[in-house]
Structure 1
Amino acid sequence: MRKYSRQREAICEYLGSRKDHPTADMVFQAVRQVYPKISLGTVYRNLTLLASEGEILKLNCGDGVEHYDAQTAPHCHYYCRSCGSLKDIFMEEPIRLAYEKESEDGDLIEGCNIMFYGICEKCKNAVDKAE
């Protein structure tokens, strides 16, 4: 059992309050408001620990930074290539297929990370209005 940490608890609370999948720097900036002496390294170490223990998800959507999600129930993500927004998508079919199958080699599949890419409705509408 790991030792309790107020800073780690603050990181978890912050992530749990967000739906926008913040980066480590965003987490650092927010938690620093409560714990001014916290270091960016401490935030990274705690995010890595929480992700390795399955308490949060670490997401890479190809924008050069990792994002974090407190929602660990099986779900997909959607990344807008225009504005960089990242949101949850709850679609049963892709998740169900991933969990019900074994790989062709017989490997047991325990989870998946499905990332959809495109242009969000807000950005699409902005382009349509500009034309």
Structure 2
Amino acid sequence: MRTILKNGESALRARGLRLTGPRKVILEVLRGTESHPTAEWVHRMVRRRLSRVSLGTVYRNLRLLVAEGLAAEIPGPHARFDANLAAHHHFTCLRCGCILDVDGPLAEPHAAALRGRVAARTGLAITHHRIEFFGRCPRCRSSRSRRAPARRAP
């Protein structure tokens, strides 16, 4: 964790930004989970350590971390955030709403070929792509309940 924070602090300083108390805790919380939390979840976790931090502060700092390349935002009806910046894709469970990482090497060879074919057929200059998988996670697949639980953000 120290190395991650040191890298985060170095990256922020290189961009002329400080590692403030709230920013440090937000970065720790985000990098301390493998889930893909919402700003509200991050806010709840941060408030355990810094009780006076507002949701607005958390939102502003998450957006700053994304803008500075220290975190990624996963688009959707409720923005989620990801500290895993390695090449990977996401799987979203349509039943419980959980988001799981799918390692890039599993899909990347096919994605690169697809990018090439799309570029060749359309003349587009493709700079990057996003692959998302949807379905039911192992927990929901094994559940006997037929009624879908409410989607909740970690």
Greater displacement, 68-77 / 51-60: 51-60
Greater displacement, 95-104 / 48-57: 95-104
How many Å apart are 1:33 and its aligned residue?
1.1
List alignment gaps of at least 5 residues for structure 2: 1-15, 147-154
The amino acid across from 1:113 in the alignment is R
How many Å apart are 1:113 and its aligned residue?
2.4
How many Å apart are 1:4 and its aligned residue?
2.4
Question: Match of 2:140?
Answer: 123
Q: Secondary structure at the match of 1:43?
A: helix
* Number of residue-to-residue matches in the alignment: 126
Q: Distance in 1 between matches of 2:62 and 2:110?
A: 29
1:81 equivalent to 2:98? Answer: no
Q: Distance in 2 between matches of 1:84 and 1:28?
A: 19
Taking only aligned residues, the RMSD between alpha carbons, in angstroms, comes to 2.1
Q: Distance in 2 between matches of 1:105 and 1:51?
A: 30
1:113 equivalent to 2:141? Answer: no
In structure 2, which of residues 47, 51, 63 is the aligned counterpart of residue 32 of structure 1? 47
Percentage of identical aligned residues: 31
TM-score by length of 2: 0.72
The amino acid across from 1:35 in the alignment is L
How many Å apart are 1:114 and its aligned residue?
1.8
Aligned pair in 2 of structure 1 residues 99, 32: CA closer, same or farther (>3 Å)? farther
Q: Distance in 1 between matches of 2:131 and 2:100?
A: 12
TM-score by length of 1: 0.84
